[in-house]
Structure 1
Amino acid sequence: MTVTSSFEPVHRESTASLIARQLRTAIMKRSLPPGAQLSEAALSAQFGVSRGPLREAMQRLVQEGLLRSEPNRGLFVIELDEADIRDVYLARAAVEGAAASMIARARVPAALRELRAACDAMAHSLELGDPTALSDADLHFHDVLVQCSGSRRLARMQQTLIVETRMCLAALEGAYRQPLELVEEHRQIVDAIEAGDVGLTRRRVEQHLDEALRRLVHAEDDDPGYV
């Protein structure tokens, strides 16, 4: 007798997905720096895979905008100019504003706990005077913010945007300053979410990202170092 059930098939992550994730990380951490050309032969040997899944992975990154294809030359890591940086933050404001608004409407206690914990991690990094840890904690907060919305599509868009953001920050390492107000800006976003004020939540997200963009674009005019 055939038994029907509501079980769904279990899917394992494909080889191409695993490779794509590692390539994203390499681009984000600049072990694959902007402008670098990707060698299929070298990468397939390093990953220990055939060129089929490698090409699939690289094509995913082309579609995400992290790699560019040049006819008769190959694939290269993108390079970001000021217009690109502004566009990244414009897109982040749309994605993160929508995600934060969803959380504010739902007011799920677990989401608020995760966001508060992310703020605490930032505060701890600031107390330690560790700029790398603070930058990591900052981006982790924004990742948590979008993940807690429960929207897979927003999370997918945020994945690429965070890699591009990391590229922006890494390019200005040593010049980009983290102000003391940074943690408070994030706490104010969470306060607005907890109050269930959707309009205020979206405004605070947009104001925070506008200020982050201002600091980033004008970082080279500021005194070097972190605060």
Structure 2
Amino acid sequence: MGNDVKHNPSNAPPPGGEGSLRQLAYQRIEDLLNWGRVRPGQIISQRELVDLTQVTLSAVREAIPRFEAEGLLQTLPQRGLMVPSLDVAFIREAYQMRRIIELAAVPDLVRRLDRSVITDWIGWHEEARERLAKEDSVDLLGFIRDFQLYDWDMHARMVAAMDNSLIANVYRVTLIKIRMSAQGRVRVTRDNANRVINEHIAFLTPLAEGRLDEASAALSYHLDQSLTLALGGGVKG
């Protein structure tokens, strides 16, 4: 009985005291921003964040200064917290930052990341493309969410190959802001998912083979397409 391992539900606070609760609060508020459950320009109270995150008020309060320092929340005296509005100029600047970091990571990916990781990424995308082709058997919303999470994780691991925590954190915050700004502009569709899958494979394949120039060019094209979409424009399929 004493050796039984019990599953910790996702809504239950992790062991470890207030520091862990503060981190849990941060992660759940970050999820709200990433998935558009709180949006740029919205004003929200600390109590509302408690209801949305299911953590304690003290944990939410302790997490807020970090969001303020990262430019993800602003305190409005007597009113609550505001999610900052992000204009077109910001989107362009954020994508410029993203481009600098991701392209700089390409040589480190080849040197430090096991090639099997890259081939696994390619295999996952090929399987995803096959699943998506079966129009009648795919839960599109579920597929898109799974794909979005995989996309975010893959790009973060690409940057993590640089082994630079400062760059990784700047990249993480930049991507949160990009997702926030894109919520009202980007409509995820089957065609768009197929486009992203093909663009990923286009830079992962030369990456796995050590062809850095070709991988960098394909990654750059992918980022250009993403920027155009984030700005509300049309992209090539």
Give me the TM-score of the superposition, normalised by structure 2. 0.72
Aligned mate of 2:207, from 187, 193, 207: 193
Say yes or no: does 1:211 pair with 2:225. Answer: yes
* Structure 2 Cα separation of the partners of residues 140 and 118 of structure 1: 13
Alpha-carbon shift at residue 128 of structure 1 (Å) = 4.7
Instruction: Count how many residue pairs are aligned between Structure 1 and Structure 2.
Output: 212
Aligned AA for 2:192? Q
Residue 56 of structure 2 aligns with which residue? 49
Per-residue CA deviation, residues 76-114 of structure 1 (Å, 9 max, x unaligned), is: 112222112112211111222222321123352243234
Alpha-carbon shift at residue 117 of structure 1 (Å) = 4.0
3-state SS of the aligned residue for 1:178? helix
Aligned AA for 2:210? G
Aligned mate of 2:156, from 143, 146, 154: 143
Counterparts in 2 of 1:107 and 1:49: CA distance versus 1, 3 Å: closer
CA contact (8 A) 1:192 1:200 kept: yes
CA contact (8 A) 1:105 1:198 kept: no
Instruction: Supply the RMSD in Å over aligned alpha carbons.
Output: 3.3
Residue 166 of structure 1 aligns with which residue? 179
Aligned mate of 1:153, from 158, 161, 166: 166
* Structure 2 Cα separation of the partners of residues 50 and 160 of structure 1: 23
Structure 1, 34-43 or 64-73: larger mean CA deviation: 64-73
Aligned mate of 1:112, from 107, 118, 121: 118
Aligned AA for 2:212? V
Alignment of 1:51-130 (within 5 A): 51=58, 53-70=59-76, 73-106=79-112, 108-120=114-126, 122-124=128-130, 126-128=132-134, 130=140
Counterparts in 2 of 1:180 and 1:27: CA distance versus 1, 3 Å: closer
Structure 1, 127-136 or 210-219: larger mean CA deviation: 127-136
Aligned AA for 1:49? T
CA contact (8 A) 1:193 1:201 kept: yes
Give me the TM-score of the superposition, normalised by structure 1. 0.75
Alpha-carbon shift at residue 64 of structure 1 (Å) = 1.9
Structure 1, 41-50 or 195-204: larger mean CA deviation: 41-50
3-state SS of the aligned residue for 2:56? coil
Per-residue CA deviation, residues 35-84 of structure 1 (Å, 9 max, x unaligned), is: 22231244346645243x32221111122221123456442112222112
* Structure 2 Cα separation of the partners of residues 139 and 124 of structure 1: 21
Aligned AA for 2:184? A
Structure 1, 20-29 or 158-167: larger mean CA deviation: 158-167
Aligned AA for 1:43? L
* Structure 1 Cα separation of the partners of residues 114 and 230 of structure 2: 33
State the identity %. Answer: 21
* Structure 2 Cα separation of the partners of residues 156 and 123 of structure 1: 31
